[in-house]
Chain A
Amino acid sequence: MTEYFNLLWHDYTLRTITLGTAVLGAICGMLGSFAVLRKESLLGDAISHAALPGIALAFIITGAKDSATLLLGALVSGLIGTYWIRGITSKTHLKSDTALGLILSTFFGFGMLLLTFIQKQPNANQAGLDKYLFGQAATLVESDVKLMVIVTAVSLVVLLLFWKEFKILLFDPDYTKTIGFNTKFIDVLVTFFIVLAIVLGLQTVGVVLMSAILLAPAAAARQWTNSLSTMVLLAGLVGALSGIFGTAISASQDNLSTGPVIVLVASVFVLFSLIFAPGRGLLFREIRFRNNRKDLELMKTLQFMYDIARDHENISHPHAIRILNNFQGYTKGSLKKLENEDLITLDGPDWALTQKGFDTAAEMYNQHMNNE
């Protein structure tokens, strides 16, 4: 590992690639949060596949192989694909998953066709286009990373400017319309930047795996927070770390291609978050479930005591613990716990409700009656 950091410090290429994947992970994570919250997770997959014919056509038309030209082609065909998906869903009876599937496979098929056509061409210039299928981070050069940084900066500015609009559109689009916002414009803006982020990542991660970079950081981040802004920031961080670690792992092991490793690192983040995140994590839920069951037993005992105590003028009149015997819910431990919480007092063989215990039980009782 130290060797790797030494390398990172001295090796210009590795530094460029690491910076590129980190920036890419960050922007995809942030914009991916919006896709996830709009329940449009698969849109990313469709867009990245839809971008392939654009890359091929850009090459056929211009003959150029620099990434800026090719990515421009990808952007155009990605946007056309997205527009058609939206069109199909709004104008026909087809549901959005069908529309996504149709566009994804049609565009991808067309893209593959063009790629094979290009490969049959006599000029030997065509090699390397297939890197957009699975991505090849090693081909990132300084100008690519610069482009990423610029696009990321622009996205961030737009994100900050229209934060309020994005947020309300994500939560309640119909309402957003009624208070006078042009929801179509906000929608186009969000979608455009999602497409942009995807296109940007094609060279590094490739058409096939791109959607994972978009979704995984957002899915992981959602587990840890209940605030939209924290979620977006966290998704950016997870994305960046996935890029950095993924590049590091693939650079220190020979023959591991970077894109898939980044995706796997991001998946590890997701897995970890699904299990260990407080609140939403599986582990936490299990613990809470067990605690609830314990609490319930405790409260049942208190309720039983309340039923006895409220027949007396003095609610703190002591009663024998023995009379709890015909109620099975209590144990020595649970009595001790009730005492610790000042709900009852224990005195040798007797127990008595405290005022707090009486009030707690009474409130529970009322709630119960209200819910009936």
Chain B
Amino acid sequence: MLSKLKALWRTMTRPAKHISLGVLTLGGFLAGVIFWGGFNTALEASNTEEFCIGCHEMRDNVYVELQQTVHWSNHSGVRATCPDCHVPHNWTDKIARKMQASKELWGTIFGTIDTREKFLAKRLELATHEWDRLSANGSLECKNCHEYASMDWDAMSEVARTQMEQAAERDQSCIDCHKGIAHELPESMAAASGALAGLQRQATSRFNPGQQYFSIRQLPLFTDSALSQEAGILNSGSVITVVAQQGDALQVEIDGWRKTKGFGRVINEEFGQNIREVTLEKEVATDDSMIQGFEVQEDPLTGLPWQRVSFQLWMGKDDLVDDREILWQEASELYVKNCSTCHSQPEEAHFDTNTWPGMWAGMLSFVNLDGDTQELVLKYLQKHSSDYSDGHH
């Protein structure tokens, strides 16, 4: 039995690794022809939730986790079960996936993940397989139910909409951002991707009222201490002053300036300088009880009136540092490295604060930075522009 299993294991795993998809497809096709009767029935049987949770590894770990999520229980009564997300709906891919899945079968027979501890230790590896697969197919199984084209942008909060529209523009794979949506994340997973993950290790966990802290990446702001009502997004590299703490939440004060054209949703750090600090939801921005307004001044270079404002909101405790230099150092390295691929990078002080966004936007197509990182580097450049430098240039 064991030798037969081993032989089967070899035959079935090797092609997935080393032979092209074409051969794989052909193999699947032949298998389909030969075993048309029994094979298809078995295949359908293995495509049910009961089959998946037939072994305790699945039932006791990921299945329990799924039951805590919106994919299990929601107001519309639609439920996604295991095969909806994990088995491709298209037949060829389905076969390919089944062949990969024989590895998990191997695991159950030989006990690699037979305890919770062993499962947790192996979770990152297992999850990575699944993320890779979803990345490769553009999150096809998600898109069987969720389509960018069918999304009602207006029904979303501005925070969600901003992020989602960026993703839709690039037809981004859902799993890029939505890891952990149906099961828990592997323990060591950082929430920020790529370049900024390193900064998170330097995040502070002690907060003193009255002291300033600085955001590593774009962070959600809330109107309540339960962090349930979204108020806006704090930009990367922005400054907040802690007012109070309550459990996992911080009450923070933000001071800045906004243009009076529009709803006043964009809060900038200083008068006349387009250094974005916060993007507010419209309801918050237009609520005089939440936003304290002060003097209005006209910016001579655009003719637009700017108003000084101050407001207090709530946010989580993650991804804040107590020294802005930590952020600038990382941003400086990212700038120098990414912007010297084709040419020598201009000195930070070569442009002024309000010229940098235009130059930055005009070159972004050439750099590989995610949204959080783009914002941080841009803010670094603006805060080190000719407006803040007295050096001869």
Q: Do A and B bind each other?
A: no
Give me the interface of B with A, judged by CB distance under 8 Å: none
Which residues of A pack against B, CB within 8 Å? Answer: none
